Chains A and B, each alone.
Chain A
């Protein structure tokens, strides 16, 4: 055996060690956030910047995940903007999805290495706001002459809090009902989506007789709790009433039980192993609920004719959430960079750019003028499926705060829903656990900052 090392510190060494440790601890405490027992008012304010006296920067950076495989579309829009304004835009792939972009954006804040423009999805823009990471848009939009009245009102209002807008709509989507027209025809069903879930339940056995799973649903964060809004709201329930969780209501429990019975009792629905849109495109399921942003991909992948329709209504009527992403300006930049970023957003969400983006991706046109433009009219004529999301917009509503505004809200709801739809867990227990966690997160991570 080799001799065992002994730790034999004398007084001087002990003092040196203590000083080293203390110094390092002090160094650690020096960086990071400023600490205070009062953290309210964390959101950035519209400081009275005299935008007229600011000269826009010549170069800005945009962090995007290129929703709907839109990188070539975004590059083309940047090329057009640079040709028009002389401002260069560095397009950075900051993640594969909204969550990954958000994680990097949060980590980069305060380092000076963040973007000037960042995508701000439905579950992230609020967090950016309370953290003071994004700029309120109203003053700069007014200065630059954004035609904000032309934005779809629901989509623009999604970013409103404390009498200000914290992003502008960009790649906005809703869930759509996709169906396999061949399977529909084989089952002798009319060529349309079911108007209600009750009607779907009547149709499902005919589809199942054809040897396919009638309905495919997805799981995972940023997804399961999104499509479940349709069932939840359609039966009169909600995740929350502003900051108060309402998952213990009979309506909410009824919605969960209905979905559960579709899967485990009636066996007319199944949860996809990985991607329900891929399973649908491969012909494994007769219909599915997927984002409008998946439309182009599904149309390319499917070897059958694809139909789209509104999400089926519940007993309380039609219900559809909005989703997707807006774009926001970082608060952590110079006025010159922010002004250039504002000019870019004005261009990116202009009528022509919106129509170009929507026609190439399937995302909804966020401007009324773009929706009614000749470009979109051609698209609707060629592929009527694109029209469905636009028409369905009338039935959409802003999402419940408990899911999209509370850190971890979507994750907790996803865990509850996965318990219900994967393991036939008791909805009351699953929802109670999620509600407690979300309420605590609100009290710790939101309330003090408001």
Chain B
């Protein structure tokens, strides 16, 4: 049986997309013979339209995303001093060097702590803020603006501003702690405190985004469900846990992916505040890519770290899509 259509179909499942329908089969007849397909030709006007609309975007993606990505992959197999016109092929040596470097475990640990704290902390604080902002109280509008405002500020500006806040001699934190008879932590000279400091600043800057998205999701939660639960005697906490939170599932899933990707790629606040120090205490994988590539000039090694980070991001995103997506109720 042959069925050919000239009408382009642009939506639907894979079968619908081809525009043909399989014949019904019976066990007695055995498997049906595979129908002979003739590829339908896309009219040139459709191609032109596609090129007109999608072409510029595709070109930009190829030039600024995929080409650099592939170039980075290629450079990771080279021993190349950035700025030099010549480089040496070294195969996977850069990868072997990274995995055996004594600083690598520390960099992985810093990256993990920073990511978990900023993603986890951001989601929890963002949700709590959204719950507060979702209430009909006076001044909520102004509070929403205040919460979201830091998100639109430049990371460098935020970092420089907080440098003054955390200054152990002249900063606001030091002054506040002095009021209660405490000394300021050594934010800039102690690796653990320095990491805590950049996490706090990162959260301050980005939590408004999470709150904003959660707020939009909260406002789309059907009120009748919550009211029905209330009539049935459910407490506010129970309603939140059993109704609101599951309904926020898709939003939580979306935020988990986007904030994770943003956190793993964060650079500006670290550069403005600690430059990866002290003692590498705030050097994440992302920051190491910059350090190795532009401070040490080891472009090949830096590209290898970038490729590893890319692989990690890809794996984590796939894992989220595969395992977490199934638990989300749409």
Contact = CB atoms under 8 A, between A and B. Distances in A.
B73 to A, nearest CB: 7
Nearest to A332: B85
B74 A25 contact: yes
Contact of A27 (B67, B73, B163, B170): B67
Nearest to B79: A444
Given A411-B295, A419-B279, A33 B78 contact: yes
Interface of B: 13-14, 62, 66-67, 70-71, 73-75, 78-89, 97, 102, 163, 167-170, 186-191, 275, 277-280, 291-292, 294-298, 330
Contacts of A284: 169
Given A33-B87, A279-B169, A24 B81 contact: no
Contacts of A445: 79, 81, 296-298
Contact of A219 (B277, B291, B292): B277
A248 interface: no
Interface in A256-276: 271, 273-274
B85 A132 contact: yes
A273 B169 contact: yes
> Size range of the interface on A?
35 or more
Given A28-B73, A39-B87, 11 more contacts: A8-B14, A24-B62, A32-B74, A33-B84, A33-B86, A34-B86, A35-B86, A39-B79, A39-B88, A422-B189, A445-B81
Given A1-B330, A107-B294, A130-B84, A274 B71 contact: no
A103 B275 contact: no
Contacts of B79: 39, 444-445, 448
B81 A407 contact: yes
Given A105-B83, A408-B296, A418-B278, A35 B88 contact: yes
Given A36-B88, A110-B85, A274-B163, A28 B74 contact: yes
Nearest to B300: A444
Nearest to A100: B294
B13 A3 contact: yes
A33 B80 contact: yes
Contacts of A418: 277-279
Contacts of B80: 32-33
Contacts, number: 145
- Between B73, B102, B189, the greatest number of chain A beta carbons within 10 A of the residue's beta carbon is seen for B189
Nearest to A416: B279
9 nearest A-B pairs in the assembled complex, by CB-CB distance: A106-B83, A408-B296, A28-B70, A131-B84, A33-B87, A103-B294, A273-B188, A28-B71, A131-B83
A172 interface: no
A129 B174 CA distance: 46
Nearest to B86: A39
Contacts of B279: 415, 418-419, 422-423
B324 to A, nearest CB: 13
Contacts of A34: 85-87
A306 B179 CA distance: 33
Interface string A14-29: 0000000000110111
Contacts of B74: 25, 28-29, 32
B313 to A, nearest CB: 19
Nearest to A445: B81
Contacts of B67: 24, 27-28
B188 A411 contact: no
Contacts of B330: 1-2
B14 A6 contact: yes
A25 B167 CA distance: 48
Given A33-B78, A35-B78, A271-B189, A133 B83 contact: yes
Interface string A102-144: 0101110110000000000000000110111100000000000
A109 B85 CA distance: 9
A449 interface: yes
A107 B85 contact: no
Contacts of B73: 25, 28
Interface in A302-326: none
20 contacts: A25-B74, A27-B67, A32-B87, A33-B80, A34-B87, A39-B84, A39-B88, A42-B84, A99-B295, A105-B83, A128-B83, A133-B83, A220-B275, A273-B186, A274-B188, A408-B298, A411-B291, A422-B190, A433-B102, A449-B84
Contacts of B277: 219-220, 418
A34 B186 CA distance: 47
Contacts of A130: 81, 84
B304 to A, nearest CB: 12
Interface string A418-439: 1100110000000001000000
Interface string A150-189: 0000000000000000000000000000000000000000
A441 B296 contact: yes
A2 B329 CA distance: 10
Nearest to B17: A8
A49 interface: no
Contacts of B187: 273
Nearest to B87: A33
B54 to A, nearest CB: 15
B320 to A, nearest CB: 15
Contact of A449 (B81, B102, B163, B295): B81
Contacts of B71: 28, 31-32
A296 interface: no
Contacts of A53: none
Contacts of A274: 163, 167, 188
